[in-house]
Amino acid sequence: MHEGLILCRFIHFGAVLLLFGVGAFRSLLFARHLLPFEASPAGPRLSRVLGWLAAIALASALASALAWLMLTAAYLSSDWSSAIDASTVRLVLSGTWFGHVWVVHLLLNALVVILNRRVRPRALLTLNALLLLTLAPVGHGAMFDGLKGQLLILNQMLHLLGVGTWLGGLLMLALLMRADHGVDLVAVLRRFSGIGYGLVALIIATGLINVRALSGGFWPEPAFAGFGLVLAVKVSMVGGMLVLAALNRQLAHGADLPLARLRLSVSLECLFGAGALAAVSLLGTLPPMLA
């Protein structure tokens, strides 16, 4: 069941991050640049894909919530039979912080599925942002009470917004470079590389704050076992993304645009992003080894 929970977290987190990031790219950051793309058949086709992505997010959220509830019910009662006891699961759902937040999260996810392509893009982006932000209170920050817990949840919200914008932007760049949609790729690439500086700074700063608050130091102890080892994998994946992002910026500012090399670089950056997300999905199920 533990492996299934990690897989559900990976699918759900990835879907929610991309829903927000792609929406921010299309309707907020690059709306003017993407007018030719939206007018082409690719625009409506991408909207349909995002609708399916929202449905996948909802299904994986339900599955991960069910797995978490069953594991929690079994842990609280010290009896695995409680994992399938409806009354115990219902008590966990109605009497825990996770249960309360996750109900709101599921309702928002259902609204995104229902209202996709039925409301204005900015309104849908707002819903996707709320959907993303409700992932923050069910993370490790929920372990702390009072002001420290609230600030850590706020920090995690900023971290999620930065990661979602970066990953969604990478996916959109990969799609735009697959075919000629009449979009000025040079302008988009150069603008995104500039925005990337702010995103990277936000992600690194909030990530360091998370590690410091959870581990009591600048790195968990032991450094390369358990939580520390998985965190090292995540940092390595992010480091690879940063190297590729620097390469993309250099290529985008050259005299000619080497599309083949950019496609390969952006694709590799997306793969590193998936690897970092997989590490995060596992980190959420491990104790941070508080000092």
- Position with higher pLDDT, 225 vs 83: 225
pLDDT higher than 70, residue 71:
no
Q: Which one has a higher pLDDT value, 6 or 72?
A: 6
- Contact call for residues 231 and 220 (beta carbons, < 8 A): yes
Flag whether pLDDT at 50 surpasses 70.
yes
More confident residue, 158 or 5: 158
The pLDDT tens digits of the residues spanning 183-216 come to 998 999 999 988 988 998 999 999 888 888 877 7
User: What is the spatial distance between Cα 56 and Cα 47, in angstroms, rounded to a whole number?
Assistant: 14
pLDDT at 203: 92
Diameter of the chain by CA atoms? 66
Residue-level pLDDT at 6 = 79
Burial of 118 from C-beta contacts in 10 A (0-12 / 13-18 / 19+)? exposed
pLDDT in tens, 128-140: 999 999 998 877 6
The pLDDT-based confidence of 291 (bands split at 50, 70, 90) is: very low
Query: Comparing C-alpha atoms, which of 164, 86, 93 is closest to residue 131?
Result: 164
The predicted model gives 46-74 an average pLDDT of 78
With a cut of 60, say whether residue 265 has pLDDT above it: yes
Give per-residue pLDDT as tens, 154-191: 999 999 999 999 999 999 999 999 888 889 989 999 99
Judged against a pLDDT cut of 80, whether residue 272 lies above it is answered with yes
* Whether pLDDT at 141 is above 70: no
The C-alpha atoms of residue 26 and residue 62 are separated, in whole angstroms, by: 28
| Tens digit of each residue's pLDDT (9 = 90 or more) over 9-44 | 888 889 999 999 999 999 999 999 999 999 999 889
The mean of the pLDDT values for the chain is: 84
Confidence of residue 101 (pLDDT cuts 50, 70, 90): confident
C-alpha 205/C-alpha 211 separation (Å) is 10
Per the CB < 8 A criterion, the answer to whether 174 and 192 are in contact is no
Rounded Cα distance between 133 and 128, Å, is 9
Could you report how far apart the first and last alpha carbons of the chain are, in Å?
Answer: 29
- CB-CB contact of 16 with 131 (8 Å): yes
DSSP SS3 for 168: helix
- Nearest alpha carbon to residue 106 among 71, 49, 64: 64
pLDDT digits (tens, 9 = 90+) for 241-255: 999 999 988 888 877
Q: State pTM to two decimals.
A: 0.89
pLDDT tens for residues 78-97?
Answer: 555 555 566 666 666 676 77
d(CA 41, CA 193): 27
pLDDT of residue 86: 66
